[in-house]
Amino acid sequence: MRQLIARVLGAFTSLLYQRTILVLTLLFCVGIAGALWNIHRLSQNLIKSQALQNASLYAQAIKESRTLYSSEVVNRIQPHGITITHDYALKEAAIPLPATFLIELGQHISKNNPGMSVRLYSDYPFPWRRAEGGPKDDFERDALRYLRSHPDRPFFRFQQFQNRPSLRYAIADLMQPSCIGCHNTYPGTPKKDWQVGDLRGVLEITHPLDRFIKNTRDGLRGTFTTLAILSVLGVSGLTLVIGRLRRTSQELERRVIERTAALQEANTELANEISERKQAEVALRMEQEKSERLLLNILPHPIAQKLKHDPTTIAELFTEATILFADLVNFTQLSAQISPTALVELLNEIFSRFDQLTDYHQLEKIKTIGDAYMVVGGLPMPRSDHAEAIVEMALDMQQELARFNAKHHQSFNIRIGINTGPVVAGVIGTKKFIYDLWGDAVNTASRMESQGLPGCIQITTSTYDRVKDKYLFQERGVIEVKGKGAMTTYFLLGRKVPDPSV
C-alpha cells in the first residue's frame, strides 16, 4: 500500500513539474466545481428551509385563528340563540362551524396565493364533506397514520404536486376541550366518543417551490460569474510565477545531474557487493524455510521445537481432549469401480478440504488411514473449548462433503465419532516421526465412528455433557460398544438457534 501511494505521489509530482499550468488549471476547475456544488447544495437546503418555515407559520396562524374563533366567538354567541352550522350561508342569524370557518379561511389563502393550497381532512368527515373530507392520495393517508403516533410533530415531503415541485406540510388537528361537546352531539357526527387530544383531522398546506428556486438561481448566477473571473485571474498570475520558477529549476537540475553521476559510479560497486550478499542470505533463508515447513507438515510446532533441541522420546499426558474419527462410507466399494489415480485425486480433494477446516478451527490433524480421518482438539496446546471446536469441525465436515458431492456429482457419505477424555500424545521411535495419541479415550472415539450410522455424528456422554447447551441432539440410547460394554450415546443434529426474545 505504501509503495502504491509513493508511486501515485511520484506520478503526480512528475506531471505537476512537466505540465504545471495544465495541472493547476485542472485543480482550479475542480475547486470551482466543488465550490459551485457546495453552493448549489446550500441553496437547495435554503429553499427547503424557507419553504418549511413559511408552511409552519401559515399552519400555526391558521390553527390559532381556529382556536380564537372557537373560544372567543362560538363560545360567546351560543347562549344568544345564534345558530352555528356548516350551511350558515343559507340560514338567518347563523355563523359557520369552526371546521367550516377553517376550510373557508384556507380557500381564501389559496385564492390570494396562486399555486398554494390549504386542505383539512379526517378519517371521520361529516356527512356533507364525505366526498372531499377524507384522504385522497398516499401522502394524506401516510400523514394520518404518522400523526396518530406523533401528533406533536409535522409530517412533510418535497415532491411533484400538480406537475410543480412543492412542499406538502401536514400537522395534527387535535380535539380541544371546548370542541368535545359539539363534536359528540352535533347531528350527523360520524363519531360520538371523542376525547381531548384525539386526532380529529389533519391540516395540510401545499407550498410550490418555483418562486424560491427562481430567486435562488438568480442570486447564484452572479456568484458563478465572479468565481469564473477570479479563477482566470488566478491561473494567469500563477502562469507568470511558474515560468520564472521553471527556469531556475532547470539550472538546479543540471547541477544535480552532474553530482549524481559521480555518486552513482561510486555506489555501483557497493550495490553489487550488497546484492551478492543478499542473494546468498535469501538462498540460505529459503532452504531453512523449506526445512521448517516440511517439519511442521509432519509435527505440531511445539513438538517440532522440542525435537530440535532434545531429539528424545516425547510423551505428554493431557487430562482432557476431544478426539474425532471420520470415515467415508462405501469408499472401499468405489475403489473397485474407478482407477487408483482417480480414487486418490478424489480422496485428496476431500481430505484437503478437511485440512482447511482443521486450520480454521485451530485443531490438530493426527493422521489419515486409508479413507479415515483423525483430528483432535485440546492439544498440543490445551484449550478450554476443545469439545465445542471438534463439534463445529464435525458439522462443517458434513457441509464440505455435501459441496464436494454437488460439484462432482458423487454420493459420498460420512460417518463421524467423537469422544472426550484423557490421552497421551507424543512422538515415539527414531525414524519417520509421527505425532500420535494413545489411551482409552482414543479407542472409544474410534468405536463411536465404526459403530455409528452413515451420515450421522455419534458422540459419547462425556462430550455431550460439555456441549449440550449449544447444540441439538437425539439420544440414540444404550448400545453395546466393542471392548467397552453398554454405553449411552447421542447423535449430533445441529446448532441451536438463539431465541430472539432472550
Read off the pTM. 0.42
Nine-digit cell string for 128: 356533507
pLDDT in the model for residue 17: 61
Quick one: DSSP state of residue 73? I
Q: Which residue has the higher pLDDT, 439 or 502?
A: 439
Strands of 199-208's sheet in order across: 117-121, 199-208, 164-174, 155-161
Q: Could you tell me the domains of the chain?
A: 1-298 (3.30.450.20), 301-495 (3.30.70.1230)
Residue 8: per-residue pLDDT: 77
Preceding omega of 422 cis (within 30 degrees of 0): no
Task: Summarize the confidence of residues 23-48 as an average pLDDT.
Answer: 75
3-state helix, strand, coil in the chain (%, to 5): 55, 20, 20
- Name the pLDDT band for 472 (thresholds 50, 70, 90): very high
Mean pLDDT throughout 77-96?
72
Beta carbons within 8 Å of 110's beta carbon, 6+ residues apart: 116, 117, 118
Instruction: Determine how β-strand 457-460 pairs with β-strand 413-427.
Output: parallel
Report the C-alpha gap between 402 and 417 in whole angstroms: 18
Smallest Cα–Cα separation from 153: which of 169, 135, 138?
A: 169
Question: Cα-Cα-Cα-Cα dihedral of 473, 476, 479, 482, to 10°?
Answer: -50
Digit-coded pLDDT (tens) for 337-370: 778 888 888 889 999 999 999 999 999 998 888 8
**Dist. CA 403–CA 409, nearest whole Å:** 10
The overall average pLDDT reported for the chain is 81
Residue 118 backbone dihedrals phi, psi, to 5 degrees: -120, 125
Q: Which residue has the higher pLDDT, 311 or 502?
A: 311
pLDDT tens per residue across span 220-279: 677 767 777 877 777 677 677 777 777 787 788 888 888 888 888 878 888 888 887 888
Which tops the pLDDT comparison, 19 or 372? 372
Measured between alpha carbons, how far is 85 from 353 in angstroms, rounded to an integer? 84
Mean pLDDT of 372-391: 92
| Cβ neighbours for 64, distance < 8 A, ≥ 6 positions apart | none
* 149-181 residues labelled b (16+ CB within 10 A) or e (exposed): eeeeebbbebeebeeeebbbbbbbbbbbeebee
Quick: pLDDT tens for 395-414.
999 999 999 999 988 888 99
In sequence order, the 6+-apart residues with CB closer than 8 A to the CB of 376 are: 321, 322, 323, 324, 363, 364, 366, 390, 423, 425, 437
User: What's the pLDDT score for residue 132?
Assistant: 78
- Which residues are 201's β-sheet partners? 173
Tens of pLDDT, residues 114-158: 778 888 888 888 777 777 778 888 888 898 899 889 988 999 888
- The confidence score (pLDDT) of residue 447 equals 93
What DSSP line would sit under 326-377, residue for residue? Answer: EEEETHHHHHTTS-HHHHHHHHHHHHHHHHHHHHHTT-EEEEEETTEEEEEE
Q: Quickly count: other Cβ atoms within 10 Å of residue 293's Cβ.
A: 10
pLDDT > 70: what percent of the chain? 86
Q: Is there a contact between 424 and 315 (Cβ–Cβ < 8 Å)? A: yes
Q: Beta 485-495 vs 471-481: how paired, if at all?
A: antiparallel
CB 171 within 8 A of CB 59: yes
User: Are 424 and 437 in contact, with CB atoms under 8 Å apart?
Assistant: yes
Q: How far is the C-alpha of 260 from the C-alpha of 312, rounded, in Å?
A: 60
